[in-house]
Amino acid sequence: MIITIDGMIATGKSTIAKKLAKELGYIFFDTGAMYRCFTFLCLKRNVNLEDKAQILEAINHFKFNIKFQHGEKHYLVDSEDVSEIIRGAGVTSLVSQVATIPEVREKLVGIQRQWAVGVNAIFEGRDMGTVVFPKAELKIFLTGRPEVRATRRLAELKTRFPEEMKDLTLDQALEDINRRDVIDSTREISPLKKADDAFAIDTSELTPDEIVMKILECKDSLKGRKSS
């Protein structure tokens, strides 16, 4: 079974996908990490994002891998562990722009579909239910009030990068998530939007465990739909 979780920034997609995967014994994929890894490669190679030839050259050299260490996923680009740096300000400020490039999406979507063959998996991202896995058995779309999401993102960044983010304010975090959400939901190719057959869950007032419970209820309700 394939379960897709799409939604805006800081709706808890990764946390929820991880918890749900544990609960169900599925594997999970954070597809945003792939876009972040490719953005890292572009920065490393000084790629001019306006230059198609340079982007194609970079995408053809994109060697991406995942390894497990102490139960945590680590992301590798050319065997360099980039798990921390891809969450930092440099990659974050550019990733949504990189994700608008059709050739980049085509390549990464191809990899995502290969990973889905013959497994029970949860894929989280922006276009999982609409474009990558339109036939997924269960689709979830997470939303949340911008102020709540900005508060979550601020706390996450300050914990992960205490020095680099010590002066970051709530207003700046809010501005950043709004900017990226607008790019993600207005881009021409694979914009962030709810699939018609996705269950929408507003996460503003819910804990991660409560969200997982709701998703499990949605999953159970599918059985009812099939048998009726």
Is residue 137 a contact partner of residue 195, using CB atoms and an 8 Å limit? no
Closest approach of ligand C5P to the CB of residue 18, in Å: 13
Q: What is the gyration radius of the CA atoms in the chain, in angstroms? A: 17
* Residue 127 or 215 with smaller CB distance to ligand C5P: 127
Query: Is the four-CA dihedral 200, 22, 2, 106 of positive or negative sign?
Result: positive
Residue in the block written with tokens 């020095």: 163
* Residue 31 or 203 with smaller CB distance to ligand C5P: 31
Closest approach of ligand C5P to the CB of residue 224, in Å: 29
Task: Report the distance separating Cα 75 and Cα 198, nearest Å.
Answer: 29
Is residue 204 a contact partner of residue 148, using CB atoms and an 8 Å limit? yes
Binding site for ligand C5P (CB under 6 A): 9, 31-32, 35-36, 95-96, 99, 125-127, 180, 184
Closest approach of ligand C5P to the CB of residue 193, in Å: 12
* Residue 20 or 225 with smaller CB distance to ligand C5P: 20
Closest approach of ligand C5P to the CB of residue 179, in Å: 10
* Residue 185 or 221 with smaller CB distance to ligand C5P: 185
Task: Report the distance separating Cα 29 and Cα 225, nearest Å.
Answer: 27
